[in-house]
Each structure stands twice: as C-alpha cells, then as structure tokens.
Amino acid sequence: MAAAAVLAAAVPVAAPAYASSAQRGTVVSVRHLTGMSADQTRTSLRTNGFDASAVRRGVDEYQVVYRTVDPRHRPTTASGLLVLPRGGDRSLRTVSFAHGTESFRPDVPSTNTEPFVTSPPVTYAAAGFAAVAPDYLGMGEGPGTHPWMDVPSETTASLDLLRAARDVAARHGRTLRRDVLATGFSQGASAALGLGRALRGGADDWFRLTALAPVSGAYDFSGVELPAILSSGDDKTTVAYTTYLLVSWNRLHHLYRDPADIFRAPYAGRVDALFDGDTPGNVMLDQLPDSLRELLTDKGFALLRHPSPRFAAALRVADAVCDWHPGVPTRLYRATGDEQVPTVNTDRCTTAFAAYGEHPTVVELGTPEYEGSRHLGSAVAATAATVRWFASLR
C-alpha cells in the first residue's frame, strides 16, 4: 500500500449516463503517459529491482478511460494502463496484469509513477506483448469507492479494458490478437482468475484465454484467510486488510448498520474515510491500531468467526475463483514464507481445480524479497518467470 506521486494532469472522469452491453469497453479518453527506448526500459526495470533480461523493445504507456459497469451493473467509467512495444510485430498477443491491493486512488497503474505497479506491464510490453493493467473500479480516474476483493467487478473492469485497449491499439496501427495471457498478483490473482473464467465462458466475441498465471492469491477466504486473520491479530497489515474487507463489503453487502457495532472507538468514526480512496496509504496505516483487539468489538470478532448469511454468501463468491476448468496452460506462483497471504491458499486452489480435471503447475519462487517483504518479492520474481513462460507459448 505504498503512497505514490499522482500524475499532474490526472482529472477524475464522471460516470456516463448510460452503458449498454454494446457500449462497455468504449473508449472515453486516451492519454500518452511516457515512452522509453529499450535501453531506458532496461535501466528503469533494473533500477527498481525487476529483471530486465526479457526486454527486446522500447515501450509507450497510455492511460485509457473507458465505459464499464459497477457491481450492480449500473453504468460507470474506469481507467487502466495500456503499454505497447515499440516496433516489432503489428499483431500482438495481450498480457492482462491485475495489480495487488491499494487503498489510495492514485496508487494504481495508470496514475502512479511508483515502479512496483507499473514494472510488470512494462516488462511484458518490452518483451513484445501488448500489456493491459486495470486500475479497478473506484481507483485511478474512476468515480466512487473501490469494491475491494469483489471478483465480479474486477472481472468486468478487466474485460472492458481489453475491449478498450483493442480500439486504442488500432489507432496506433496495432492489432490485438485473440490470445489473452492472464496474470495478477495478490488481489490481482483473483481478478486474473475471474477474467480467465469469463473469457473461457465466452464473455467476449473476440478475446480468448490462452494461458493463466495467478501469483500469491488469497483464494480461500473462508477456510484460510479468516482463520489466519484471527490467529495473527497483532499485526498492522492484518488490521488494515481486515478493516478494508469489512468496510468495502459492507458497502456492497450491508454486513452491519453502524460501524460502532463492529469497530471500537475512535476507529468506528474514521474507518469509512480511511478507505474512501482519497486517504494516502501511510496516513491510513497511522490512523489504525496495531492489533485487532483494539480495532474490533465483540460483534466484530463474532462476524469474522461466524459469518452472517450475507457475509457467508459474499465469501462463497470470493472462494469460488478456482472452481472452474481453465482448459489452457496454467501455473500458480507462490513464495515460501509469504507473510501476508498463507501459501496454503495455493494448495486449496489446486485442489479446487482438480475437481474439474485441471492440474496446474505450482511454481515455487523460493524466498524473494522486495522492500523486506516476501509477498511483494513474489510479484517481482513471478514477473520474471511469467514473461519467460508466456514468451515460450506459441
């Protein structure tokens, strides 16, 4: 949840008055953000701790604002990043990269200069792919608040960005082929699975899923994540994730009437504002306690231990991200000792896939670190691994 500089020209875009199924993915605006030669791209990636060995091309980055729908299928807009390689083939395969958790609106691919969120799509584009990275709803240039870990809206935002990117690429003389290689990190692992499932189910007339590579995902909230939260309550990151989950899902699923029922004072009066998209991540962390005991009331703990019917129904949706048959080459990536997402999540995902006759390869990334975190390190290591794997698939 690192804070980052906002591009000076970024201006929020209001939701359109309508968005039929035919209009989803329609481009609202495009802005060229930056361009780099191949040498500049290598230097940027290496300087920021990412592997540059796959770089073959320079890149151009574009912010795309496009029409999509909100969790209730009402019209809205969202933004995302499109990165195109300079030169090379005119017809490109597309990598869709879904980023990890951010709570501050600007800390996403199309409005962020922080290299952690932009280096993966830059890596894929520099290797010769078209790369797209959705900001998700309520982030970047999108209006409203972000529905965190809501797989259905992550899916529609990701799919509609692909459609918009196809149009933008054509304006630059490039054709996006049907092939989509879907990957994502942490929160984005579930988003990538949601997109893959939609493409596999024929959600788009053009794009089709050809490979799937989620990284360090929380695939089992009911069986893994909630027990882990309750057993490691004296941890600031756990406190932040728990608050984000309850606040965001209350907006979507009405889990409680009054924040004071779930959160202790003084936090009950501030949690909604801390996760409104306009509070920098470091400020949010400073305004939260260091332990769940300080954060939650007895009712708050009871909701986590024994989810209400509405909460349980929402959890079932989140937990179903691996309950389908990809039918394409699939790899799941994880790091040993991930301090934020227990690696048993990956085991649960492979078990779920097995029930559908799918047996993905689990790639052990070892113990990579980025800024002292193995969870973040897994994103860096997996970017290097997936770009090589994607390039080998023809």
Q: Are residues 181 and 142 in the same domain?
A: yes
Q: Are residues 151 and 115 in the same domain?
A: yes
Domain end among 286, 317, 348 = 317
pLDDT digits (tens, 9 = 90+) for 143-195: 999 999 999 999 999 999 999 999 999 999 999 999 999 999 999 999 999 99
Backbone angles phi, psi at 385, to 5 degrees: -75, -45
Place of tokens 């969790």: 71
The residues with which 183 forms a beta bridge, in sequence order, are 97, 213
Q: Is position 8 within any domain?
A: no
Q: Are residues 147 and 226 in the same domain?
A: no
Which whole-number Å values give the CA distances from 342 to 46, 96, 98, 134, 186, in the listed order? 29, 24, 20, 25, 11
Q: Are residues 35 and 145 in the same domain?
A: yes
The CATH number for 209's domain is 3.40.50.1820
The CATH number for 259's domain is 1.10.260.160
Closest CA to 218 of 317, 345, 100, 373: 345
Q: pLDDT grade, residue 20 (50/70/90)?
A: low
Closest CA to 378 of 100, 191, 182: 100
Q: pLDDT grade, residue 234 (50/70/90)?
A: confident
Q: Are residues 168 and 298 in the same domain?
A: no
Number of structural domains found in the chain: 2
Q: Are residues 129 and 148 in the same domain?
A: yes
Q: Is position 2 within any domain?
A: no
Residue 16 has pLDDT above 70, yes or no: no
Domain end among 271, 297, 317 = 317
Q: Are residues 88 and 207 in the same domain?
A: yes
Q: Is position 231 within any domain?
A: yes
With a CB cutoff of 8 Å and minimum separation 6, the contacts of 198 are: 155, 159, 204
Q: pLDDT grade, residue 15 (50/70/90)?
A: very low
Q: Are residues 334 and 375 in the same domain?
A: yes
Domain end among 252, 283, 317 = 317
CA atoms within 13 A on the CB side of 343: 17
pLDDT digits (tens, 9 = 90+) for 265-309: 999 999 999 999 999 999 999 999 999 999 999 999 999 999 999
Q: pLDDT grade, residue 19 (50/70/90)?
A: very low
Place of tokens 């984005």: 188
Residue 130 has pLDDT above 50, yes or no: yes
Backbone angles phi, psi at 210, to 5 degrees: -125, -15
Residue 233 has pLDDT above 80, yes or no: no
CA distance 382 to 384: 5
Q: Are residues 260 and 340 in the same domain?
A: no
pLDDT digits (tens, 9 = 90+) for 58-82: 999 999 999 999 999 999 999 999 9
Q: Is position 6 within any domain?
A: no
Q: Is position 21 within any domain?
A: no
Backbone angles phi, psi at 232, to 5 degrees: -130, 50
pLDDT at 376: 97
Domain interval for residue 249: 221-317
Residue 227 has pLDDT above 50, yes or no: yes
What is the CA 247 to chain-centroid distance, rounded?
Answer: 18
Q: What is the mean pLDDT of residues 116-145?
A: 98
